[in-house]
Chain A
Amino acid sequence: MLKALFGELPAIASHRGWPRVEVGSGTWREIGAALREGKLDLLAEWGDASAIHCALFEPATRGVQIASLDARSGSAPSLAMFHPPALRLERTIAELFGIDIVGLPDQRPWLDHGRWTVRAPLARAPASREPPAEYVFLRTEGAGLHQIPVGPVHAGIIEPGHFRFSASGETVVRLEERLGYTHKGIEKSLTGRTLEEAARIAARVSGDSTVAYSLAFARAVESALGLEPPARASWLRGVMAELERIANHLGDIGAICNDAAFAMLHAECGMLREQTLRCCARSFGHRLMMDRVVPGGVAADLGPQGEQAIQALLERLRREFPELIELYDNTASLQDRTVGTGVVKAALAATFAAPGYVGRASGRAFDARSVLRYPPYDSAPVEMVVREEGDVDARVWVRILEVKCSIAWLEKAIAAPPQGPVRLASPDAPGATVESTTLVEGFRGDILAYVRLDAGGRIARCHLRDPSWLLWPLLEAAIEGNIVADFPLCNKSFNCSYSGHDL
């Protein structure tokens, strides 16, 4: 399909790695049709001052392609017309870049709540503000329906967002999300920055995935500049990425059980999570390992003390984690809450190219580490976990098994550390525009990074697509027909990032 659509078109020379081509609006619509027919997956769609880009994945050939459509006229045809997962992405492109998306099925703004000082902040000429129109939620009609508005300030220690439930008795008829509360203007902030400054911002898109974001950003920069980080740096990146995955999965497995009123597993998992974070602090000098992965390599090497700390952690996990899994598996009251709850159907997961454990719990066999193999996973492969049921239980199991896989991967890695430098010297300015796109598997799912550097080596455009963009809409689908009281459970089993989505 990629060949049929783009085979004849010349790849843009400045874009390294996967090919990027410029297409006309006719081909753009054909992309829409191919997405609708399920022949391609939409990985991302993002705007630029004078264009719209989309990243496509073809499952049959494992090919990735970037397509760009000229939008200098100020308008572009919609892909969401054909393919609903593009809807929020295009609403965002419209409001951030001031591009008129023709045929966009939902014209309401998404991240722009009418409170910023400018309109279309990323357009070539941002406009001044006119009074915002009132945000109208979708209508629900029927006898006895009532609405429950929740947020943006939630009851727990979590990020802000608004949920509008329409319920019939206890059953959720429709959930409509309204996000954008944590929009920090990250993409605009990144523009014009040096690599060093931009790396610090990229590390703070979503704090729980800081290693994965730093890695996605660094790999995109390195690919654009044609750099290859030293072997030991790639190895250290893998170690950090897997530690981050373990810490997050442990925290979430516990939190899901807590939302099903089983506090004991929450306490036990919380303990293992804390020990993992302390191990990270001892090994890399920061509990979340923020700013440790940088373009060109890593900023912290692992000493003998750190290696010992990781080994001790792995032994502890090997000893204690199986007992907790057994407890999860054998507690009927817990299974009663998680099995059959919040089902994401396989077809829907496939349509949305559902990233991470949500996709893999609904039969979508995609893990960027295995499917698009990047260092260090090209030489040290990691096992992919796939389940079919698509409920909360399946998502918990995918995470449980992924913790095990990560432990096994780390054990192997720690046993054979490559030696040598961990960071390249600061790169020279490229002298011309260079760009690249990469995909990295964070704990939540694949993170896409597109980076374009100007001749001086500063960021001309950087787009970071969080997996949550494609997961939030699925949460709306998963909760339908479930009871309101199961929402926290479903929500936690997704654990979407607000900050990563809102940018």
Chain B
Amino acid sequence: MRRRLVKNLLGEPCSEALEPGTCAELETLGSEFRGALERRLGRSLAIREVDAGSCNGCELEIHALGNVFYDLERFGLRFVASPRHADVLLVTGPVTLNMREALERTYAATPAPKWVVAVGDCAAGCGVFEGSYACVGAVSRVVPVDLVIRGCPPTPLELLRGLLRLMS
């Protein structure tokens, strides 16, 4: 373990080991984001993720935001365990009827000011589950939505880009 730790400490940070293009884009995104964030909320934005019936594809990519390549926390964005601590609800899925109340209650438990971001084609409309007896459909039919990030699932970069749009 010591060898690995030393290697990681002395080596270049992995968040720079992105392919050219991507890296530059990520960096610009980051600094723009920081500017917008500082104006609005100081230096931090707390995100609570709510799966309202997704296939878990969106969750995988939201998870990826935390890996060392995207390292969300360096931009002051972090995921929190409770809606009580959150500024943003990141909602995925075609809101199932079985999850509707849980989503409403999560929204009610989030202190204002708050924003809701609908992530993925299911949360944006209803995706391939359109017309089902068990789905409400778009997140906006249950709680007010400030931003929609489309994709099936959206890539981590698309998610970052989307969150930036929310702040500016």
Task: Write the nearest CB–CB distance from B62 to chain A, whole angstroms.
Answer: 5
Tell me the complex Cα distance, A188–B93, Å: 18
- A-chain residues with CB within 8 Å of residue B52 when the two chains form the complex: 160
- Whether the Cβ atoms of B1 and A270 lie closer than 8 Å is no
Cβ of A106 within 8 Å of any chain B Cβ, yes or no, is no
Which of B23-31, B34-42, B128-136, B142-150 lies at the interface with chain A?
B128-136
B64–A184 contact, CB under 8 A? no
Chain A residues within an 8 Å CB radius of B49: 157
B98, B106, B133: the one within 8 Å of A121 (CB): B133
A188 to chain B: which residues have CB within 8 Å?
132-133
The residue on B at minimum CB distance from A179 is: B98
Tell me which residues from 274 to 294 in chain A have a Cβ below 8 Å from any Cβ of chain B: 274, 277, 281, 287-288, 290
Chain B residues with Cβ under 8 A from A197's Cβ? 128
When chains A and B are docked, how far (Å) is the Cα of A327 from the Cα of B5?
11
Q: How far is the CB of B19 from chain A (nearest CB, A)?
A: 8
**A160→B83 CA distance, assembly (Å):** 15
Instruction: Tell yes or no: A374 within 8 A of B by CB.
Output: no
Q: A189-B129, A271-B14 are in contact. Are A183 and B81 (CB under 8 A)?
A: no
Decide yes or no: A290 and B133 within 8 Å by CB, A183-B98, A271-B69 being known contacts: no
B108 within 8 A of A: no
Indicate if the CB atoms of A207 and B98 lie closer than 8 Å.
no
**Does B67 sit within 8 A of A, measured CB to CB?**
yes
CB within 8 A of B55: which of A157, A189, A204, A271?
A: A204
Contact assessment for B61 and A287 in the assembled complex, using a CB-CB cutoff below 8 Å:
yes
In contact, A182 and B93 (Cβ under 8 angstroms): yes
**Chain A residues within 8 Å of B51, by CB:** 157-160, 182
Q: Among the interface residues B52, B67, B98, B100, which one has the most CB atoms of the partner chain A within 10 A? A: B98
Task: Kindly list chain A residues whose C-beta atoms are within 8 Å of the C-beta of B53.
Answer: 160, 181-184, 499
Query: Given the complex of chains A and B, what is the CA–CA distance between A498 and B57 in angstroms?
Result: 12
Assuming the contacts A155-B81, A499-B55, asked whether A273 and B4 have C-beta atoms less than 8 A apart, the reply is: no
Interface string of A170-185 (1 = CB under 8 A from B): 0000000000111111
Interface centre among B68, B83, B100, B106, by most chain A C-beta atoms within 10 angstroms, is: B68
Q: How far is the CB of B61 from chain A (nearest CB, A)?
A: 7
Asked if A207 and B57 make an inter-chain contact with CB atoms under 8 angstroms apart, the answer reads yes
Closest CB-CB distance, A361 to chain B, in whole Å?
A: 22
B54-97 toward A: CB 8 Å interface, digit per residue (1/0)? 11111111111011110000000001011100000000011011
For window 112-168 of chain B, which residues contact chain A by CB distance below 8 Å?
Answer: 127-129, 131-135, 152-153, 155
Is the Cβ of A182 less than 8 Å from the Cβ of B67?
no
Once the chains bind, are B132 and A204 in contact (CB under 8 Å)?
no
Bound: A160/B68 CA distance, A: 26
A65-B51 Cα distance, complex, nearest whole Å: 37
Q: Are A184 and B50 in contact (CB under 8 A)?
A: no
The B interface is mostly helix, strand or loop, or mixed, namely: mixed
Contact indicator B56/A180 (Cβ below 8 Å): no
Q: Are A160 and B99 in contact (CB under 8 A)?
A: yes
Count chain B residues whose beta carbon lies closer than 8 angstroms to a beta carbon of A.
49
* Complex Cα spacing A189 to B83, Å: 32
Q: Kindly identify which residue among B56, B81, B128, B133 contacts A206, using a CB–CB cutoff of 8 Å.
A: B56
Nearest-CB residue, chain A, relative to B79: A157
B130, chain A: closest CB distance, angstroms: 8
Q: Could you mark each residue 110-150 of chain A with 1 if its beta carbon is under 8 Å from any beta carbon of chain B, else 0?
A: 01010111100100000000000000000000000000000
Q: Judging by beta carbons under 8 Å apart, are B133 and A210 in contact? A: no
Q: Enumerate A235-291 residues with CB–CB distance to B below 8 Å.
A: 251, 264, 267-268, 270-271, 273-274, 277, 281, 287-288, 290
Known contacts A115-B100, A152-B102, A330 near B1 by CB under 8 Å: yes
Report if A201 contacts B (CB, 8 A): yes
B102 touches A153 (CB 8 A): yes
Evaluate contact between A207 and B68: CB separation under 8 angstroms. Answer: no
Asked if B67 and A158 make an inter-chain contact with CB atoms under 8 angstroms apart, the answer reads: no
Contact B98 A185 (CB under 8 A): no
Given known A-B contacts A205-B55, A499-B54, A116 and B133 have beta carbons under 8 A apart:
yes
Pair B55/A207 contact, Cβ less than 8 Å: yes
Q: What separation, in Å, do the CA atoms of A204 and B128 have in the docked complex?
A: 8
Encode contact with B along A200-239: 1 for CB under 8 Å, 0 otherwise.
1100111110100000000000000000000000000000
Which residues on B sit within 8 Å (CB–CB) of A336?
A: none
- Are A158 and B134 closer than 8 Å at their CB atoms? no
A residues near B54, Cβ cutoff 8 Å: 159, 182, 207, 499
CB distance from A470 to the nearest CB of B (A): 18
Q: Does A331 contact B (CB under 8 A)?
A: yes
How far, in whole Å, are A117 and B105 apart by their CA atoms in the complex?
A: 21
Residues of chain B within 8 A of A159, CB atoms compared:
51, 54, 56, 59
A contact residues around B79 at 8 Å (CB): 157
A184-B134, A204-B57 are known contacts. Are A156 and B14 too (CB-CB below 8 A)? Answer: no
Which of A111, A206, A208, A273 contacts B67, CB < 8 Å?
A: A273
A208 in complex: contacting residue of B4, B56, B127, CB < 8 Å? B56
CB distance from A501 to the nearest CB of B (A): 11
B residues near A118, Cβ cutoff 8 Å? 133
Q: Which of A111, A118, A153 has the most CB of B within 10 A?
A: A153
B46–chain A nearest beta-carbon distance, Å: 13
A185 partner, pick from B58, B62, B133, B152, beta carbons under 8 A: B133
Can you list 20 residue pairs at the A/B interface with Cβ under 8 Å?
Answer: A117-B97, A121-B133, A153-B83, A157-B59, A159-B51, A160-B52, A180-B98, A181-B102, A182-B54, A183-B53, A184-B94, A185-B133, A186-B129, A189-B132, A210-B55, A267-B67, A270-B68, A271-B68, A281-B155, A331-B1
- Chain B interface (Cβ < 8 Å from any Cβ of A): 1, 4-5, 14, 49-64, 66-69, 79, 81-83, 93-94, 96-102, 106, 127-129, 131-135, 152-153, 155
- A157-B62, A188-B133, A197-B128 provided; 15 other pairs, C-beta below 8 A? A182-B54, A183-B98, A183-B134, A184-B132, A185-B133, A189-B131, A201-B128, A204-B57, A204-B128, A251-B63, A264-B1, A264-B4, A267-B68, A287-B61, A502-B98
Shortest Cβ-Cβ A-B pairs, 7 listed = A207-B57, A185-B134, A155-B81, A185-B132, A270-B67, A207-B55, A115-B97
